[in-house]
Amino acid sequence: MPIGLLLMTGGCMGHGQPDLESARQPVVSQTDYALDLGLSGGRLAADEDRRLDGWARNLRLGYGDRVTIEDPAGEGPAAYREVAQVIGRYGLLPGPVSSIPRSPVSPATMRVIVTRSRAVVPGCPDLRSETSPDFEGKTSSNHGCAINRNLAAMVANPADLVRGTDGPATSDPAMASRAVNALRAAPPTGNGGTRLLNASAVNSGAGIGGAPTSGGVGQ
């Protein structure tokens, strides 16, 4: 092979991945949305609960979002319950306050913070090696992009891609074997004594061996 051709093909190599582990992994980012609510006598001020509900509805609050309530001065014990009631309409409960420092909360004010995670796979699709020959047995530069992008798009809570979820500390064997026990305890579907009939005797009302029958094809 001419040296010039070798140099040309050599310049097309090096875009693949050396192993089966994809270089394109989901990256999770977080965004905080904050709303300051006025307090009056330890409760939410007039119409603040409606303002909170409209804000949550516009955010399309739902599973995967984390809601925290900041009340450093402890001025709104009753307001905390009111906020939790509104948030509960969207299937969520307020969580512990984050340790990330934020701007101070004004007096007679309570802050509600929604933390939303988003997962993306940067650099996908990567088609650099699709049109280039590879003489080193590497996987495609686009290897793993499809499954990782689908995973990032479908996971209900993107934060689970970072820290996972804790399983139960214990398991109940009775609960785990309930389906198997129900299957074993169920009576057979043919427990009624089904009998096959002689097809030529169906019209005459006789079963196998000429025995009279009262059913159709079987009973």
Q: Which pLDDT belongs to residue 210?
A: 46
Q: Which pLDDT belongs to residue 63?
A: 86
pTM: 0.58
Q: Which pLDDT belongs to residue 57?
A: 94
Q: Work out how many domains the chain is built from and give that number.
A: 1
Residue 70 near residue 97 (C-beta atoms within 8 A): yes
User: Is 103 domain-assigned?
Assistant: yes
Residue 124 near residue 148 (C-beta atoms within 8 A): yes
User: Is 207 domain-assigned?
Assistant: no
Q: Which pLDDT belongs to residue 10?
A: 46
Q: Which pLDDT belongs to residue 34?
A: 92
Below-70 pLDDT ranges, the chain: 1-19, 99-101, 130-135, 137, 167-170, 192-219
From the DSSP assignment, how many helices (H) and strands (E) are in the chain? 7, 4
Q: Which pLDDT belongs to residue 208?
A: 44
User: Is 77 domain-assigned?
Assistant: yes
Q: Which pLDDT belongs to residue 201?
A: 55
Give the structural domain span for 56. 30-117
User: Is 108 domain-assigned?
Assistant: yes
